[in-house]
Amino acid sequence: MWLSPEHGIRPVISMTLAPFSWKEIKWGAWALISLYVSLLSGIVVGLQYDYMTPFYSTTAIDLLVPYGRFFRSLHFYSSQFFLLFSCVHLAAVYWKSEKLNYGEWIQLTATLPIILFLLFTGYILRGDNTGASAGLIAESIIHEIPFLGEILNDLLFSVSDNGLRKVYVHHVITFDFLLLLCAWNHLRIYRVNVGDYRLLLAAMLIFSIFISAPLEPEQLGITYIAGPWFFLGLQELLRYFHPLIAGVAVPGVFLIALFAARPGKDRMNVFLLGMFLWLLIYAVLSCIALLR
């Protein structure tokens, strides 16, 4: 029997063919699951790691520790996914954040630079070509900050004088504590059933089995070293501008715009447009750096 529109076939079709919205994905839950995996695998890797001999230690984890390569890859990629899912989660729930007061908004958005610092210190701790270069570049940028440069470098990195001891402490304790502190009010009301995300867990496990985390030994004749993927745009900026401008002022502009773009606030659209243009330019610079 043929059904006419009056019999309700159109609503059924429209519901069946409705486009899937990326906002329907629970990005926050994905980010939280990735964080759990990163923390648990990080414990396994951290027990085998020695910051006194970083590159040898990292290589030994891959070659000598049972399933060491898998756990290091799982820690590396779950951390990357945590950052990516957190950024998408912020974009997806942005308009729902209008109920947050300014202090709560600052706390939540401050988690993004903290996550970046966690990932960045992880790169440094590898002790390979990329890690060693990233640490030296970070030191040179911080030294250019007037009045506070020496103090901040001694507090955060001090790689040239103290090796990776401080970087290791910040990676496993300081930044994790700051992340928990900033996100606590958000996390304590957020519940995730791990069993509902078995596919995501399986995808991360399988990905880590077949794709090893990067490790780049020093190679003679190599004069250009590409840093972490989120560092590439800044690395390209350093080719054209003073480190204070490229490494401090330019990232600072984005952070200020992010903190000021609380939903419902005056001139919110101006800050959103500024962040979009900043990200677009940064993506172009990153592609240029990647193609060198």
- Where do the structural domains in the chain lie, given as residue ranges? 24-215, 222-292
- Is the pLDDT score of 17 beyond 50? no
Residue-wise pLDDT for 111-158, tens only, equals 999 999 999 999 999 999 889 889 989 999 999 999 999 999 999 999
pLDDT of residue 157: 93
pLDDT above 90 coverage of the chain, percent: 72
Query: What is the rounded average pLDDT of the residues 190-219?
Result: 90
Q: Chain-wide mean pLDDT for the chain?
A: 88
Report the predicted TM-score, pTM, of the whole model to 2 decimal places: 0.88
pLDDT of residue 222: 62
Query: What is the rounded average pLDDT of the residues 253-261?
Result: 95
pLDDT of residue 223: 61
pLDDT of residue 23: 56
pLDDT above 70 coverage of the chain, percent: 90
3-state secondary structure the chain: CCCCHHHCHHHHHHHHCCCCCHHHCCHHHHHHHHHHHHHHHHHHHHHHCCCCCHHHHHHHHHHCCCCHHHHHHHHHHHHHHHHHHHHHHHHHCHHHHHHCCHHHHHHHHCHHHHHHHHHHHHHHHCCCHHHHHHHHHHHHHHHCCCCCHHHHHHHHCCHHHHCCHHHHHHHHHHHHHHHHHHHHHHHCCCCCCHHHHHHHHHHHHHHHHHCCCCCCCCCCCCCCCCCCHHHHHHHHHCCCCCHHHHHHHHHHHHHHHHHHCCCCCCCHHHHHHHHHHHHHHHHHHHHHHHCC
Where does the pLDDT of residue 21 fall: very low under 50, low under 70, confident under 90, or very high at 90 and above? low
CATH tag, 24-215: 1.20.810.10
